[in-house]
Amino acid sequence: MQTTELVRFKESGKQITVLTAWDAISSSIVEASGADVVLVGDSLGMVVLGHKTTLPVTLDQMLHHTKAVCRGFCNPLAKQPLVVCDLPFLSYQCGEDKAVEAAGTLLKNSCASAVKLEGAEPETLLVIQRLIRTGIPVMGHLGLTPQSVHQLGYKSQATNKDSQDKILKDSEMLQESGCFALVVEHIPGKIASRLKKLLSIPVIGIGAGNDCDGQVRVTADILGLSIEQPPFAKPLLAGRELCIDALKNWIESINPK
Ligand code: KIV
């Protein structure tokens, strides 16, 4: 699967499905589910490394987890989902050369074909343009951008006219800079819907209503494995309780009361 296929999905009206994975087990499950894209999101810092935010995640950790994700695929390469890897905090905010080195390291040493990064500040746009000139496809991310948690909090974004105008403008700048797709997180559905119509690249939502070109979810959240569920990621099953009960049953079978 290539990044260019996602634009074709948008044109044909097929909804794009994106799920996160962080190791070989999760990627084999997500691949078998038939998701179009596997995102090795820096949410792994919270989901599997136990941090309170995504900020502590390092480039080495992203590479370590992305390699494990790639090893987990069972299908031949041509049938594997597209792998997009998050650029962690401070790997792209300190200049274009550093960003190229970080993104290049991920693509060179794993099966990832693209990177995702947050925001659309002027210096971020320059980084995106440089990455794309280097041959590294970039997915944008606007709305709730977790690497800015200390400025934005984990709350809904684009809730007033000024911030709505800004996200519309920022999304156009990301498209003009060459992003192949845009993730929008925790914004009103009517704004995501406007973005979908405004842009020719796919708009992939999380907590952004149903009228997007696709949806992305943190796999641990929709499987109900996370202790703290974000308000916009409704679990599909009570995964945590199911696992705990199964393990309790096993322990009782070893040590009957
Ligand atoms: O890190 C991540 O998992 C993400 C998704 C929430 C889009 O960026």
Residue 248: predicted pLDDT = 97
pTM metric for this prediction: 0.96
Tell how far CA 214 is from the center of its chain: 12
70 lines ligand 1 (CB under 6 A): no
Q: Which two tokens stand for residue 169?
A: 């403008």
147 lines ligand 1 (CB under 6 A): no
Looking at the structure, give the CATH architecture of the domain made up of residues 4-254. Alpha-Beta Barrel (3.20)
> Quick one: 157 exposed, middle or buried, by C-beta within 10 A (0-12, 13-18, 19+)?
buried
Distances (CA, A) of 79 to 7, 12, 32, 40, 215: 18, 20, 11, 18, 20
Our mutation pick for probing the ligand 1 site, out of 40, 116, 138, counting the most ligand atoms within 8 A of Cβ, is: 116
* Catalytic residue set: 185
Our mutation pick for probing the ligand 1 site, out of 40, 65, 69, 86, counting the most ligand atoms within 8 A of Cβ, is: 86
Binding residues for Mg(2+): 42, 86, 118
**What tens digit of pLDDT does each residue of 231-245 get?**
888 899 999 999 999
Give the burial string for 33-43 (b: 16+ CB within 10 Å, else e). eebbbbbbbbb
Q: Which two tokens stand for residue 13?
A: 């009206």
* pLDDT band, very low/low/confident/very high, at 65 (cuts 50, 70, 90): very high
88 lines ligand 1 (CB under 6 A): no
Asked if 116 contacts 138 with a C-beta cutoff of 8 angstroms, the reply is yes
Atom of ligand 1 nearest to the CA of 183: 7
Residue 174: predicted pLDDT = 98
**What tens digit of pLDDT does each residue of 5-41 get?**
999 999 999 999 999 999 999 999 999 999 999 999 9
Domain extent listing, the chain: 4-254
Asked if 122 contacts 93 with a C-beta cutoff of 8 angstroms, the reply is no
Residue 231: predicted pLDDT = 85
